[in-house]
A = this chain, B = another copy of it.
Amino acid sequence: MIEEAYGRPIVTVDIVLLSLNEGELSVALLPRTSEPYMRSLALIGGYVHTDEDHTAEDAVHRILKAKAGVEGIFFEQLQTFASATRDPRDWSVSVAYFALVPREKLHGTADELMFRAADNLGALPFDHELIVKAALERVRGKGAYSTIPARLLPDEFTMSELQAIYQTVMGVRLDQSAFRRKVGELGLLEEIQGRKRQTKDARRPTALYRLKEPMSVFDRRL
């Protein structure tokens, strides 16, 4: 069998970086700096560098740091988009990831980075709209059964903030009592002893929590 008689495709990674912007779940976009679609807003992505990236995840780390200025955030493989026509240059394979970052982690980072409300972003180049759609479905679906949405919060958060994040991500109202009961039964959080307060516009101080595990999946909805 003579294989390798076929041209090798382009291999890239694309990242749907999600954060909270003005209370809305939003997608990070970056103006492209090369052809095709130069200067159009597109997903964060880039070629796999076969000399320096050992795995596709390495490429994600490298690109998140170089293009978005963030490190150490949660990401997960989403789906791979592969076809002859998704990229005008050549047969192309894009291994897509989604990532979550707390708004607080983005300060003096990439200035070019734009956040656009996930449900209302304009046209995007390539098949990036499809990729975003898949990411939102995944985050909303799996979100209800995992601690994924908590990755939009800083390491320490209040119960109310956690509930608010789940409501935003899932797009439904949750009952306070049931929410606390379930979070407690699942044993996801540890209370931060001693410190409280976290003044906002509440009078009464609130307990602070952090996740026990970086990421948990369960079989009940929150």
Q: Which A positions have Cβ atoms within 8 angstroms of B?
A: 1, 3-4, 6-11, 33-34, 46-51, 53-56, 77, 79-80, 82-85, 91, 93, 95, 219, 221
Contact = CB atoms under 8 A, between A and B. Distances in A.
A interface: dominant SS = loop
Contacts of A9: 8, 11, 48, 50
A62 to B, nearest CB: 12
Given A33-B1, A47-B6, A80 B80 contact: yes
A83 B95 contact: no
Nearest to A82: B56
Nearest to A52: B6
Given A9-B8, A9-B48, A54 B80 contact: no
25 contacts: A1-B33, A3-B34, A3-B46, A3-B47, A6-B47, A6-B49, A6-B51, A8-B8, A8-B10, A8-B11, A8-B50, A9-B50, A11-B11, A48-B82, A48-B91, A48-B93, A50-B91, A53-B84, A54-B83, A54-B85, A55-B82, A55-B83, A77-B79, A77-B80, A82-B95
